[in-house]
Amino acid sequence: MGAVYEAEDIRLKRHVALKFLHSDLSRDPQVADRFEREARAASSLNHPHICTLYDIGDHEGGLFLIMELLEGRTLKQMLRGHPLDIAKVLDWSLHIAEALDAAHAKNIVHRDIKPANIFITDRDLAKILDFGIAKIAPPTKYVGDEPDIAFSTTAETLTSAGVLLGTVPYMSPEQARGKQIDQRSDLFSFGVVLYEMATGSIPFQGNTTAEVFESILTRAPIPATKLNVRIPAELESLIGKLIEKDRNLRYQHASEVRADILRLQRERLWTGIATEQAPAGKSLAVLYFENLGSVKDEEYFRDGITEDVITELTKIQGLRLFPRSAVLAYRDKPGTAPEIGRQLNAAYLLHGSLRRAANRVRVTVQLVETRGGHSIWAEKYDRELTDIFEVQDDIARNIAQALRITLSLQEEMEIARTPTKNPQAYDYYLRGRSYARRCTRADLEFATQMYEHAIALDGNFAPAHAGLANVCGLFYDWHEHSGAWLAKGRVGCERALALEPGLADALAAGARICWAEHKYDEAIRGARAALERKADCEGAYWTLGQALFATDRWQELVDLAPRALEMSGDDYNVYVPLHTAAQRLGQLESARSIRRQQQEALERHLEWVPEDVRARILLACNYAFFQQEADAMRELQKAVALRPDDSNILYNAACGYGILKKKTDALALLKRASEAGLSKWDWVARDPDLEILHDEPQFQQIVERGKQRG
């Protein structure tokens, strides 16, 4: 709407903010009249959670506001696509509810509640901004659905009548239709903001304004607990009542919202005192089934079935699932179900065993209540392999029934849907998914073959096409910078999305390919879209992190770290951009913490795949970071000897020597990496592990030549 300046009030000796409207707005007599009238009303709002409007003025025909000067950040700057801590969500939403209650009591409707208009001060207080453009609503009487001609303005600005006010993704349905609005419209927008605070994502989305309007008017958002398993069921219910499309069924007054938030805070406090963070609601962790088969090489099948059972259960809205990364550490580890459940802070635990012989499979499962340790439901399945999807579906339905969750028709249809009807294609797919995680050249080649076999048996198997696309991206990243891999991966993505629009794994694979092509904004959008559909989507956080780092968005990366590690902590690659960004920002304690977690993940991975040289070289860099020089040198020399012509290994070896302050060795290895075809020069120029080289002319020459080569 204009320009904002910090200024000093020399009479009252206080600093204020001066907000000048754009000149074209100031010249409009209708806008000027309404501006003064509405600002006069807004100035009457003296509340600790509303930015105070002191006065208005006119300077050389330009209108301006004199406002309270705030120190801190807007909520928009704090969100950056990741959820906030639930305690903060409740605290700040209480402040917002109190501010809206105060405004609505004076018949003032804000009409543009959004994260950019909510300010979090350095004292941790939420304040609503820009009440100066609010609407004076009819006192206490809710209006009907007539067009709001008298008070219409454009999105983000004050202009002439007949155009909508507000920011499209945060508009209420009545705003979107151009109808007359009242206080309940603010409450809808507040619900959208609260959803974003709790999940990191907006509920109503689309590629165009028209698609967003359609979503607001006709579509139900993804359940909040699907995007963040830590959201209390009561908070999800509160959000749902705020974003109810029918305003007569919505919260009617901000005071009601305030009371429910206070009640939820009190219950969380009492629960925390009584149980020391007892498991919340219907939260469930699915442990990896025990492999009772005699062939260890078939553990891919056990892992795959377990993970697909988790996927099936995520389709149940009333159930909060722990991600794969949270339970991976307990795979094949001793411990009783109640013990592990308490360690995870899960209300319920599903565990069991699996044995495959010829064309038959036997699955035994048991659902245990963590606190009491007693069994709620158990079953044994002895079926043909062709029935494996029915087994997974039956487990999901029986768990819902045991926990007294009523499945909707949509949930029933989702659970019943199978990715393929060919059991052999499914077996190849599970093999491919397992071997792709091992990252070595031989394993990725094998994974490629497995996915291709699956596609040959069922050309409409969308996840197999997505898996193949992902492997192509991995192969390009870690082993062979050939455009043929990217072209093949792109075809796989397109085919997968044509078969199953919105498939998260295909979106993530496409984002990885965009990253490889240096299309960073596209990579960020694709990775975020994948994570909105599947919170623990493999590879998505790595791509998002790499692309954010390449575009110098380091604070976003650091803010992303808790969620990324919660959902993808078993992927040792995801740590790299996170600790690098923290280091660049000078947040050394955070960098050390992330490095330490990565070291643990690398050591676990190398127990499973000792031949993964990339994991070994990254472990060497972590040893160097923690001043374990002997361990670092041993692993550095071993990795370079195993892969002397691999540009990625040579580059990471250069980083290891850089951390150890061995400038000559670091330069020599970087030069070898360049000659071997290193391509990630945007990353190289910013990598703090090579900080010792940044002022060296030879380093700068190597980087410039690399960028020119492309």
Which of 81, 82, 103, 84 lies closest to 93 in space, CA to CA?
84
pLDDT at 527 over 80: yes
Amino acid 23: pLDDT:
72
Q: What is the DSSP string of 594-658?
A: HHHHHHHHHHHHHHH-TT-HHHHHHHHHHHHHTT-HHHHHHHHHHHHHH-TT-HHHHHHHHHHHH
Average pLDDT over residues 580-588: 87
pLDDT at 139 over 60: no
Amino acid 422: pLDDT:
92
Look at the block and give the residue holding tokens 């012989």: 357
Stronger pLDDT, 205 or 523, i.e. the higher one: 523
> Do the beta carbons of residue 221 and residue 194 sit within 8 Å?
no
Amino acid 263: pLDDT:
80
> Do the beta carbons of residue 506 and residue 466 sit within 8 Å?
yes
What are residue 427's DSSP bridge partners?
none
What pairing do the DSSP bridges indicate for beta strands 283-286 and 348-357?
Answer: parallel
CA distance 487 to 482: 9
pLDDT at 161 over 50: no
Amino acid 134: pLDDT:
53
Q: What is the DSSP letter of 356?
A: E
Q: What is the DSSP letter of 147?
A: B
Average pLDDT over residues 185-206: 91
Query: What is the three-class DSSP state of 463?
Result: helix
pLDDT at 655 over 60: yes
Which of 54, 12, 56, 53 lies closest to 33 in space, CA to CA?
56
User: What are the CA-CA distances from residue 203 to residues 61, 197, 223, 479 (Å)?
Assistant: 41, 11, 9, 39
Chain centroid to Cα 126, Å, comes to 23
- The mean of the pLDDT values for the chain is 85
Show contacts of 633-642: CB within 8 Å, 24+ apart: 633/660, 639/613, 640/669, 642/613, 642/616
* Ramachandran sector of residue 485 (left: φ over 0; alpha: ψ -120 to 50; beta: rest): alpha
pLDDT at 498 over 90: yes
Structure tokens, 394: 């039956």
Percent of the chain with pLDDT over 70: 91
pLDDT at 522 over 80: yes
Confidence of residue 146 (pLDDT cuts 50, 70, 90): very low
pLDDT at 564 over 50: yes
Helix extents (H) in 437-553: 441-457, 462-478, 483-499, 504-516, 520-533, 540-550
Burial 143-152 (b: 16+ CB within 10 A, else e): eeeeebeebb
User: Which of 144-153, 587-596, 659-668 has the lowest average pLDDT?
Assistant: 144-153
For CA atoms 106, 243, 507, 502, give the dihedral sign: negative
User: What are the CA-CA distances from residue 285 to residues 268, 336, 355, 373 (Å)?
Assistant: 21, 13, 21, 14
Confidence of residue 507 (pLDDT cuts 50, 70, 90): very high
pLDDT at 358 over 60: yes
- In what helix (H) or strand (E) does residue 666 lie, and over which residues does it extend? helix 663-675
Confidence of residue 144 (pLDDT cuts 50, 70, 90): very low
Structure tokens, 370: 């963590």
Which of 159, 426, 124, 478 lies closest to 300 in space, CA to CA?
426
Confidence of residue 509 (pLDDT cuts 50, 70, 90): very high
Backbone angles phi, psi at 662, to 5 degrees: -95, 85
What are residue 321's DSSP bridge partners?
284
CA distance 91 to 265: 8
Predicted TM-score (pTM) of the model is 0.58
CA distance 262 to 367: 34
pLDDT at 28 over 80: no
CA distance 517 to 677: 15
Which span out of 256-265, 429-438, 566-575 was modeled with the highest average pLDDT? 429-438
User: Which of 50-54, 247-251, 502-506, 679-683 has the lowest average pLDDT?
Assistant: 679-683
Amino acid 418: pLDDT:
87
Domains of the chain: 2-68 (3.30.200.20), 76-275 (1.10.510.10), 283-416 (3.40.50.10070)
pLDDT tens-place string over residues 368-379 = 988 878 888 999
Amino acid 295: pLDDT:
62
> Do the beta carbons of residue 195 and residue 236 sit within 8 Å?
no
Q: Which amino acid is at 62?
A: G
pLDDT at 545 over 90: yes
pLDDT at 279 over 60: no
Query: What is the three-class DSSP state of 348?
Result: strand
pLDDT tens-place string over residues 434-492 = 999 887 888 899 999 999 999 999 999 999 999 999 999 999 887 888 889 999 999 99
